[in-house]
A and B are shown apart, each in its own frame.
Chain A
C-alpha cells in the first residue's frame, strides 16, 4: 500500500497545553479512516496541521511526499471540511459551491446538485441564516462533490438529523466505491460510522492510542454473559475492561480474541459471547488508558453505570 500522509513526531504546543504530543502515523491511499477521540483530544488540530491551516510546533509532515505548507500542488488535492467553517459574510450556498468548483479540480457539479436536493438545502438563502444542520450540509456537499484525493471531515454531521446523516454515509460510501480516495472522518457517533470506516485512529490527550483496521479492533475484545460464577471462572487470567451485573447474570468485557478452545469452554460453562460494539470498545479502551492500573477498574465500572 502507498502512504499518502506520513507524520513523524508531530507536536503542537499552545501556551499552556500540549494539544498534540509527539504523534507519528501514516495514512494509506484509498482508505476510509475514522479519527476518533474525545473533545479536545487533538483531532481538529491534527487535521488543521495536515492541511497547512495550522502550524506544528515540531515534527515532520509529508502529504504525497511533499510538505503541504504554501504548496498549491499538494493543497489542491486535499479538502478539509470543518465543523465550524466560516463563509464570506453575504455568501449563499450557491456561492460557496461556485467557489469550490473553481478550486477543486475533480469537482462534480451533477453530484453536487444531487446532494443539494438530497439534503433539501435552500441554495439561495444566506449561509448565516441557515440552520445548524443546513450549515453542516453545505460543508458535507463541498467535501463530497470536491472528490479531493484526501478529504477530511471534521464532525461534519453537527445538527444533521438521522435521515440526513444516513444520506451522508450512503453517498460517501457509494461515491467512494466509484471514485476511491482517502477519507479521514472524525466523529463522536462511533457506532454510526463503524460500518463505513476501514481503519481506526484513536487519539487521546494528544497521543495516538490505537491505529488498526476496524476488523482487528472488533476482534480485540468480546463480552462474556452468563452466570456470575461461571463468568468468573472463564475470565480468570484475562484482562477485564468492563464489568456489569444484574442479579446472578454478569456481563464482562475482556480483551483478546477467542480461539476455538475458548469457544468450547464457553459452551461447556453455558456462557454466551457477544461482540462488542466499536463505540463501547473505544470508550472502554480510552478509559482503560486513562486509568491504567487494576485497582481503578472498579471506579470505571461505577462511572460507566
Chain B
C-alpha cells in the first residue's frame, strides 16, 4: 500500500505534466473565453453565452493518460515497482488530479452563478444541463469525464506498449468501424429517435454513471494488458 502511494509521488515528480500544463490550459481557455464574452457583451449582445473552452483541460487528460504510461512505466520498472502497484498508483494519481480539476470547475460554477456570469451573462464552468440535477452531479460529471479521458489515453498506451504501433492502429480503426456500423444500423432500423430519447431519459447523472462504467471497463482491460507488458 505504501509503495502504491509512493507511485503517486513518483507520477507527481513530474509537476509539469500533472499540474502546470493543465493549469495553463485551464487558465488560458478561461481568459480567452472571457475575452470573447466581453467583446460580445460590449457590443450589446445580451447572452447568455456558452463556449466549449472548458473542455480543453479535460481533453488534456487524454494526453496525461498516455504519458503516465509511456514515460513513467519503464522508469517504474527500474524502481522495482510491480505492475499492479504502478497501475493502482497511477489511477490514484489520475483520480486525485481529476478531483482537483472538478473542484475548480465546481467553485468556478458557483462564482458564475453568484455573479450572474461575471455580470455579462457568460458561462465557462457552469453547464446548465449538468447543474440541473444538483451541484454534486455536476462535480461527479466533471470528474467522470476527466477520468474517462485519462483511462482512454492509458488504455490506448498499454495496447501500444504491449503489442506495438500496428496493434493500436488496428484497434482504433476497428472501433471506428464498429461505431460507423452501429450508426448505419440505427439509421437502417430508423431508430435515431429512440436513441436520442434514451440519452435524454438517462439525464446528467445517468450518463455520468454510464461513463463511470465505461471507465471501469477500460481500466480493467488496461490492467490485464499491462500485466504482461515489457518496459
Contacts and interface: CB of A to CB of B under 8 A. Distances in A.
Interface string B215-231: 00000000000011011
A82 B14 contact: no
Contacts of A79: 78, 80
Nearest to B72: A88
Given A55-B230, A88-B14, A104-B80, 18 more contacts: A53-B77, A55-B228, A70-B227, A78-B80, A80-B77, A85-B75, A86-B71, A86-B74, A86-B75, A86-B231, A87-B71, A91-B13, A99-B9, A99-B10, A102-B10, A102-B79, A103-B79, A103-B80
Contacts of B83: 70
A75 B74 contact: no
Contacts of A142: 78
A287 B6 CA distance: 48
Interface of B: 3, 6, 9-10, 13-14, 16-17, 67, 71-72, 74-75, 77-85, 227-228, 230-231
Nearest to B85: A72
B80 A89 contact: no
Given A48-B230, A98-B13, A87 B85 contact: no
A90 interface: yes
A124 interface: no
Greatest chain A CB density within 10 A among B10, B14, B72, B80 is at B80
A250 interface: no
A52 B9 CA distance: 23
A54 B74 CA distance: 12
Contact of A53 (B9, B14, B230): B230
A163 B77 CA distance: 30
Report the contact-size class of chain A (Cβ under 8 Å from the partner). 20 to 34
A99 B77 contact: no
A119 B30 CA distance: 46
Given A54-B230, A90-B14, A72 B82 contact: yes
Contact of B3 (A53, A76, A85, A86): A76
A76 B4 CA distance: 13
A76 B72 contact: no
A293 interface: no
16 contacts: A54-B230, A72-B82, A72-B85, A75-B82, A86-B71, A86-B74, A88-B13, A88-B71, A89-B14, A95-B14, A96-B75, A102-B6, A102-B10, A102-B79, A103-B3, A103-B79
Interface in A119-177: 142, 148
Contacts of B16: 90
B77 A72 contact: no
A100 interface: yes
A182 interface: no
Interface of A: 48, 51-55, 70-72, 75-76, 78-82, 85-91, 95-96, 98-100, 102-104, 142, 148
A103 B74 CA distance: 15
B136 to A, nearest CB: 34
Given A70-B82, A148-B80, A87 B75 contact: yes
Nearest to A78: B80
Contact of B80 (A51, A55, A96): A51
Nearest to B3: A72
A72 B230 CA distance: 17
Contacts of A52: 82
A280 B77 CA distance: 35
Greatest chain B CB density within 10 A among A81, A95, A142 is at A95
A101 to B, nearest CB: 10
A79 B79 CA distance: 7
Leading 7 A-B pairs by shortest Cβ distance? A86-B74, A75-B80, A103-B79, A102-B6, A95-B13, A88-B71, A89-B71
A280 to B, nearest CB: 34
A82 B231 CA distance: 11
A124 B74 CA distance: 21
A86 B70 CA distance: 9
Nearest to A53: B77
A51 B80 CA distance: 8
A70 B229 CA distance: 12
A86 B73 CA distance: 9
Given A54-B230, A99-B10, A102-B10, A90 B80 contact: no
Contacts of A75: 80-82
A91 B79 CA distance: 14
B62 to A, nearest CB: 16
